[in-house]
Structure 1
Amino acid sequence: MSLQRANNLSWCLINCFRRNSYYTVKKALELGVNDGNKDPDICIKGWVKNLQNHKGVMFMHVNDGTASQHLQVIVPQPLASTVDATFGSCVEVKGVLKESLGKGQHVELISSSVEVIGPCDPFEFPIKQRARHSPQYTRDYLHLRPKSNIFSALLRIRNVASMAVHSFFQDNGFMFIHTPILVTNDCEGACEVFKVEPLFTGASNSSGGDSDSEENDDSRGPQCVSDSIGTPAPSSQKEHFFGQPVFLTVSGQLHLEVMTGALTKVYNFGPCFRAENSHGSFHLSEFYMVEAELAFINHLNDLLTVSFSLHVLETYLVKKIPKANCSQFFFSLSSLTNSYLQYSQWGCDLDKEHEMYLADAVGGRPVFVTDYPASLKPFYALRNEDCQTV
């Protein structure tokens, strides 16, 4: 392709984008009335979050998920009588931003045209206008849950927090590593794992190569559905899909430790799966975890400094994160009369009650526990000079 043709193509793409471009609700709210808006006519697309009619004028709150605040759209007469928008419908609105005289917003959009590009029946729509739906209720409508104010706010917070984690590690010279989801180990035996096996017993990848034979295709084809559903997973190692037992990862730590032998500073931010028999809020079967590994660390304080400087914590913690010596902690427990704490002794692992006690003792903040019993840690954990703690 010649340079002239490439330039012409780029110009066509730019013009096409301009013709089809529109403002997000977040950008419209940030734009204001006279904040450099050379084109007074703007176009927004989103979903109707609230709708009411007052003296022939239609008031709509429109949001596209980019902001927590809705943009108020005013549909004057005679346009209001022709608009067939309802709560939950998807609309495209064109109009002019004006300073709002009402409370709760500084700008509003005076519409010149409203097009319903996705109708919605408010009677059949499970999410109702001006109703507070509990998480238990929206859980029955997973495909509609992001439309609720609470869940959409959680997704925006999660997005900001995730980007902050990546920004911190990237700015400090860490390399992001995609550790595998399917693994053959349980990462130091820290918890129960989910075993992965194919649904159909005929499925097998133990041959280690691709095969085009009809026999292989038939064993994994749709005709096996009626005969294989509910069949127990194969127990013989030769019948495993990967030739050996495979599990969902519980941690990417082991893979990161290997990477530090060549890349020095690495981190991972990915999903973990743990088959713990718990139905409370302390343990989840699936969650995302931040893990980092560094080479050439000479002292524990080097690691604590990196952990504390994570600006996601710095934003909310004014004081420095305290440290608790594990040996001193167990010595202090011996003088307590609390029934759920007095039976602990040196060499035992910390229970959830111990962790909560430590957090309460420092004012409900995170706490670093040092000098942990070496017998409870992996073989490669650096021993202290007493050879009893790490």
Structure 2
Amino acid sequence: MLGARRLLGALRLCSSVSCPRPRASAKMRVREALRVQDASGECVTVQFFCYYRELTFGSSVQVQGQLVISQSKRQTVELKAEKIEVIGNCEAKAFPIKYKERHPLEYLRQYPHLRCRTNALGSILRVRSEATAAIHSYFKDSGFVHIHTPVLTSNDCEGAGELFQVEPSSKIKVPEESFFDVPAFLTVSGQLHLEVMSGAFTQVFTFGPTFRAENSQSRRHLAEFYMVEAEISFIESLQDLMQVMEGLFKATTEMVLSHCPEDVELCHQFIASGQKGRLEHMLKNNFLIISYTEAIEILKQASQNFAFTPKWGADLQTEHEKYLVRHCGNIPVFVINYPSELKPFYMRENEDGPQHTVAAVDLLVPGVGELFGGSLREERYHVLEQRLARSGLTKAYQWYLDLRKFGSVPHGGFGMGFERYLQCILGVDNIKDVIPFPRFTHSCLL
């Protein structure tokens, strides 16, 4: 048995009778010829071993022959090969991916240059591609303008200081001079640039790489990852913002399920048993909403012992987030109105007296925890001015104050970690397995 995808696009025959080698313009992909998906679990019997016994697993071949109805219950067709040409031979003994062996994703992670050839990674990366298209489609259909925000920036949007500083590799002739006039960093978020653009366009979004120098080996953090971010003008309530967030999640997921069901099914069957039912449960139910204060009370009353004691004023940890989702019946839950001390300067202050909360929202999902983070932005000039002054950031963010000085409107936005989204819908335990080339602490292979 040789999987259809192992033919590597070299199958030249698409009829039940032998035919001459077609012109380049007549090429047909395997899935088009066989009308099956590459990673559906179906295989095509290729009856050629009597002609070419030296062919090794992993080799690239070009095959001519007859496509006929298969007698096997596991497949619909088989190929009776009449001519075989080896395009690239594979040294089977040294090849780390073994025939008929289901390698763990952890094992495949050692071979970033080869793991994409497996069914598991092939399915994950096809889902990733489809989800990317679905996200763009959702925003386009909703009237958003796509903005290319810069990768190099002088801003630390999150204020956490987890920045990669950028400098030229070659020494500049005059040591006192810098390439830029100010320190430059790899972006941690495109949000502040989107806020600039929201003054010209009502709805904007960006989708690109972001970088965080977090010294973390967790299953949900990367040094380089992709973020989906949106900013919406004339929005005055978290409810309106949460509606967009929930709509993005559900519309994207439904499109992925519609366009590549076999790839999703392979992941649910062989990587995350039970994930299919959990995903259907998320899609058919309205997401829940609780306040940060309510979340802390739920955690305090929990019978579970947490490594981090939950208390008002402390940030929610991953263990807290996962518990809250389980407590809510494994339905995604929005947690809103966080203490202002936990959030960046740009989030809008609530008028709630001594509690001092901001109009912030995180979406927690099963298996992952935090997936989305967003807020209403502080559009009131004098309030923002005071917050920047208290933080010593007035000089660095004078341009941000200008946005409020020159025709500001109420607005808000959010960001979604794309790799965490893929983890959520596919049930992949480690974030390093849903990105083609993962970058994390002590690892930058290729």
Match of 1:29 in 2: 34
RMSD: 2.9
1:364 pairs with 2:334? no
Match of 1:135 in 2: 105
Deviations 1:28-52 (A, max 9, x none): 2218xxxxxxxxxxxxxxxxxxxxx
Question: Could you list the runs of 5+ residues in structure 1 that have no partner in the other structure?
Answer: 1-16, 32-64, 205-215, 220-235
Q: Give how far 1:303 is off.
A: 0.8
**Match of 1:324, SS?**
strand
Match of 1:302 in 2: 240
Amino acid of the structure 2 residue aligned with 1:91:
V
CA gap 1:123/1:345 in 2 versus in 1, 3 angstroms: closer
> 1:47-86 maps to which residues of 2 (within 5 A)?
67-69=39-41, 71-75=43-47, 80-81=50-51, 85-86=55-56
Deviations 1:314-343 (A, max 9, x none): 673211110011123334455557653885
| Distance in 2 between residues matched to 1:18 and 1:66, nearest whole Å | 24
1:167 pairs with 2:137? yes
**Match of 1:365, SS?**
coil
Q: Give how far 1:171 is off.
A: 1.4
> 1:1-390 maps to which residues of 2 (within 5 A)?
19-30=24-35, 67-69=39-41, 71-75=43-47, 80-81=50-51, 85-190=55-160, 192-200=162-170, 202=171, 204=172, 238-310=176-248, 311-312=251-252, 316=279, 317-335=283-301, 340=306, 343-386=309-352, 388-389=356-357, 390=359
CA gap 1:330/1:241 in 2 versus in 1, 3 angstroms: same
Deviations 1:67-111 (A, max 9, x none): 4446514336xx942575322111112233221111211122233
CA gap 1:245/1:109 in 2 versus in 1, 3 angstroms: same
| Distance in 2 between residues matched to 1:156 and 1:82, nearest whole Å | 32
**Match of 1:359, SS?**
helix
Q: 304-313 or 250-259: which moved more? A: 304-313
Question: Is the contact made by 1:183 and 1:248 (CA closer than 8 Å) also made in structure 2?
Answer: yes
Q: Give how far 1:258 is off.
A: 1.3
| Distance in 1 between residues matched to 2:109 and 2:314, nearest whole Å | 40
| Distance in 1 between residues matched to 2:150 and 2:128, nearest whole Å | 22
Question: Is the contact made by 1:169 and 1:267 (CA closer than 8 Å) also made in structure 2?
Answer: yes
| Distance in 2 between residues matched to 1:251 and 1:290, nearest whole Å | 9
**Match of 2:338, SS?**
coil
Percent identity reads 46
**Match of 1:371, SS?**
strand
**Match of 1:262, SS?**
coil
**Match of 2:320, SS?**
helix
Question: Is the contact made by 1:25 and 1:70 (CA closer than 8 Å) also made in structure 2?
Answer: no
Bigger radius of gyration among the two: 1
Aligned length: 307
CA gap 1:66/1:132 in 2 versus in 1, 3 angstroms: closer
Match of 2:276 in 1: none
Q: Which has the higher contact order (CA 8 A, sep 6+)?
A: 2
| Distance in 2 between residues matched to 1:118 and 1:365, nearest whole Å | 49
Q: Give how far 1:123 is off.
A: 2.6
CA gap 1:152/1:376 in 2 versus in 1, 3 angstroms: same
CA gap 1:27/1:67 in 2 versus in 1, 3 angstroms: farther
TM value normalised by structure 1: 0.70
**Match of 2:229, SS?**
strand
Match of 2:272 in 1: none
CA gap 1:108/1:333 in 2 versus in 1, 3 angstroms: closer
Question: Is the contact made by 1:88 and 1:120 (CA closer than 8 Å) also made in structure 2?
Answer: yes
Question: Could you list the runs of 5+ residues in structure 2 that have no partner in the other structure?
Answer: 1-21, 258-278, 360-446
Amino acid of the structure 2 residue aligned with 1:327:
T
Deviations 1:132-180 (A, max 9, x none): 3333443333222211222222211211222221221111111222211
| Distance in 1 between residues matched to 2:346 and 2:132, nearest whole Å | 30
